[in-house]
Amino acid sequence: MSTPRPDAAGPSALWASLLPPSAHGRKDTCFESAHGVRVTTSEGRRLLCGTSGLWNVNLGYGNEAIAEAAYQALRDASYLSVFRYENSYAREAADRLVSFAGAEHYDRVLFSTSGGAANDLVMKLVRQYHALRGEPGRRLVVGLRQGYHGLTFGSFALTDDDLGQAVYGVDRSQVRHLSTNDVDQLHQFMDRHGARVAAVVVEPLQGTGATVLDDAYVAALGELSERHGFLVVADEVATGFGRLGHAFASQTWARQPDLLVTSKGLTNGTLAASAVLTAAHVSEAFSAVDALVGHAETQAGTAVTCAVVVATLDEMARLDAVQQARQLSADLDVELARLVDTRDDVLATTGAGCFRSLRLANPDGTPLPQDQVPQVVERIRAAGAIVHPGPQGIQLVPALTYTRAELDELLGCVQEGLAHHREPVGAGA
């Protein structure tokens, strides 16, 4: 029997993230439960989830094997950490992650608690790596325009979107941002500053805008890292665990990244967890002089978290989730192209795999103003599905386990929501 929930209609002390106070306390955006690919609101509506939670519930909600792994670890190990100690759960999870990502390249794993905290750790690691190698002047960390890497203070500096960094006093003096997929600018910057660069951090597909990193840009990044000596970091918080049709999207790169960041799908969205995988030459620089890394987190690498990481990897294999993602991606290719061809309110589609966006248009063909995007999202939710807002449009990030019928239902809700968005205020859904 389920435990009764507090009355969601009454006032609450909750201060929700990234919502203005005027949007707090709504019943239609308060969720009570989630099963499979559907969530239930406090009003009792069951909505089709087209966002995989926050891009992380790759295998659907309520996976029994993952829940059972957490339950057993809670009973048997309660709290065991990697803060000045180790635990057998973390050792197994690290070994499994290295195997999943590619043991021929990666050899060590540092656990963290979020994508943002993991990127803070990355910024420490890359600077210390160069200091250990006699280049303490390599302190610049380079990100890309529209890149998102988190909101903790280090990662907040690396995140390009203006989300109040100046107001909060975020130090960006050792961070630079370059235009996405601009190979010429990358060459020019490295010719001028390459000796000062510790690392370039990129997303294989940028969550903001669902912009895919071009093959030419990836190739240039690899070539310039060899020439100038900086490290390449793949931030796969959103793109890992099958989202783009591979265990990790960067596995297709000719030159593998020196560090890989993963979160979200790491625990199928169930627990606060992230990990940084290091290539052998990176970890060897620390091992050679027995160097301590100045980073630790109370909840990083706990027994419960790591039991869930292992269970998630097991479920990925059992469900053949990566292959399912490839089939779903192929269906999305066809259906989203059809929307672009047949609807005058859909300008274009971007993205890859199971991470897509639709760029929307006004009746006169001009791009939809950003301030109208929340209204479109609400119209689609009224039609029965949850989608994520994006630049001048919406994002579709379905679970890898979606059936074809569920995909058709999602796209039907999108089209119904778009149709109602054009109606006068007060009409439609």
User: Is there a single domain that holds both residue 278 and residue 305?
Assistant: yes
Q: What does the chain come to in residues? A: 429
User: Is there a single domain that holds both residue 307 and residue 324?
Assistant: no
Domain boundary among 273, 288, 318: 318
Residue 283, token pair as written in the block: 């970890």
Confirm whether 224 is domain-assigned. yes
User: Is there a single domain that holds both residue 372 and residue 357?
Assistant: yes
What CATH number should be reported for the domain holding residue 151?
Answer: 3.40.640.10
- Residue located via tokens 């203005």: 20
User: Is there a single domain that holds both residue 190 and residue 337?
Assistant: no
Nearest Cα neighbor of 354 from 414, 310, 395 is: 395
Helix (H) or strand (E) holding 167: helix 165-168
Task: Read off φ and ψ for residue 252, nearest 5 degrees.
Answer: -85, -5
Nearest Cα neighbor of 380 from 332, 426, 424, 416 is: 416
Parent domain of 30 = 21-59+320-421
In the three-class reduction of DSSP (H, G, I as helix; E, B as strand; rest coil), residue 246 is classed as coil
User: Is there a single domain that holds both residue 192 and residue 329?
Assistant: no
The alpha-helical segments, DSSP class H, found in 169-289 are 183-193, 215-228, 280-287
User: Is there a single domain that holds both residue 302 and residue 165?
Assistant: yes
In the three-class reduction of DSSP (H, G, I as helix; E, B as strand; rest coil), residue 187 is classed as helix
**How many domains in the chain?**
2
Domain boundary among 294, 318, 342: 318
Query: Which pLDDT score, from 0 to 100, does residue 208 have?
Result: 86
| Distance, C-alpha 95 to centroid of its chain | 22
Residue 262 makes CB contacts below 8 A (sequence gap 6+) with 97, 101, 118, 236, 237, 240, 241, 248, 274, 275, 277
User: Is there a single domain that holds both residue 300 and residue 354?
Assistant: no
Whether 100 contacts 275, CB under 8 Å: no
User: Is there a single domain that holds both residue 314 and residue 324?
Assistant: no
Neighbouring-strand partners of residue 109:
277
Domain boundary among 285, 318, 351: 318
CA distance 350 to 360: 11
Residue 251 makes CB contacts below 8 A (sequence gap 6+) with 101, 102
Neighbouring-strand partners of residue 108:
278
Confirm whether 15 is domain-assigned. no
CA distance 344 to 364: 9
Whether 321 contacts 242, CB under 8 Å: yes
User: Is there a single domain that holds both residue 348 and residue 299?
Assistant: no
Supply the DSSP symbol for 129: H
- Residue located via tokens 């250990």: 132
User: Is there a single domain that holds both residue 293 and residue 195?
Assistant: yes
What CATH number should be reported for the domain holding residue 359?
Answer: 3.90.1150.10
Confirm whether 14 is domain-assigned. no
Query: Which pLDDT score, from 0 to 100, does residue 8 have?
Result: 46
Query: Which pLDDT score, from 0 to 100, does residue 1 have?
Result: 46
Supply the DSSP symbol for 364: T
User: Is there a single domain that holds both residue 123 and residue 263?
Assistant: yes
User: Is there a single domain that holds both residue 348 and residue 409?
Assistant: yes
Confirm whether 72 is domain-assigned. yes
Confirm whether 42 is domain-assigned. yes
CA distance 374 to 20: 13
Residues in the chain where the model's pLDDT stays below 50: 1, 4, 8, 425-429
Confirm whether 331 is domain-assigned. yes
Supply the DSSP symbol for 204: S
Confirm whether 116 is domain-assigned. yes
Confirm whether 429 is domain-assigned. no
